[in-house]
Chain A
Amino acid sequence: GQQLNQSPQSMFIQEGEDVSMNCTSSSIFNTWLWYKQDPGEGPVLLIALYKAGELTSNGRLTAQFGITRKDSFLNISASIPSDVGIYFCAGQSRGTYKYIFGTGTRLKVLA
């Protein structure tokens, strides 16, 4: 079945640093989504990507849809304490109803 590898699993960073995380798939996706989940809450959609090569920003967040359509990355610039949480990627293949979710990147910010 489809697999989605998300890395790193967790990371500590200093406040103000830039962060980069990525997801890679064993198959081609037509849509990539990035979510953030705070403790005890549901995931919140950050960015949606629909075309290979697409680069989309949402404030300090920037995500890209890889050219091969098998990967995506998320960058956070100038991290702040409220960036703490778990970031999930999700991908969907054409003609399917299902999103495959990564296992998440846990971000911890040191003030």
Chain B
Amino acid sequence: SQTIHQWPATLVQPVGSPLSLECTVEGTSNPNLYWYRQAAGRGLQLLFYSVGIGQISSEVPQNLSASRPQDRQFILSSKKLLLSDSGFYLCAWSVVFNQPQHFGDGTRLSIL
């Protein structure tokens, strides 16, 4: 069966520091991969999605970037974190676009 892993589970970073969050999927090949941010009490905002290695689409302009160096690996990065980058970051995968997305357990990012 397929599994998705995200790490770290929680992260506290100072303003201006870099960021790297990692997501890996097991048990499937060539998945669609997604990064979401969830603000407290809000729904999920799609940040990036990827249909294959090296293929990244950005949904909203922001201080973050994404990369897909391997088929089942998706990385969320920033060179200099802002206070507004705080939130709960979720990685998800799907077989194809019109199939349900399955989420990891998320990373709670706090910026000080």
Partner of B43, one of A31, A42, A45, A101: A101
Which residue of chain B has its CB nearest to the CB of A35?
B103
Q: Is B43 in contact with A99, judged by CB distance below 8 angstroms?
A: no
The answer to whether the Cβ of B64 comes within 8 Å of any Cβ in the partner chain is no
Q: Is A98 in contact with B46, judged by CB distance below 8 angstroms?
A: yes
The size of the chain B interface, using a CB distance under 8 A, is: 21
Partner of B97, one of A41, A97, A104: A97
Size band of the interface chain A makes with B: 20 to 34
The chain B residues found within 8 Å of chain A, CB to CB, are 6, 32, 41-44, 46, 49, 59, 90, 92, 97-98, 100-106, 108
The chain A residues found within 8 Å of chain B, CB to CB, are 4, 30-31, 33, 35, 40-45, 48, 88, 90, 92, 96-99, 101-104
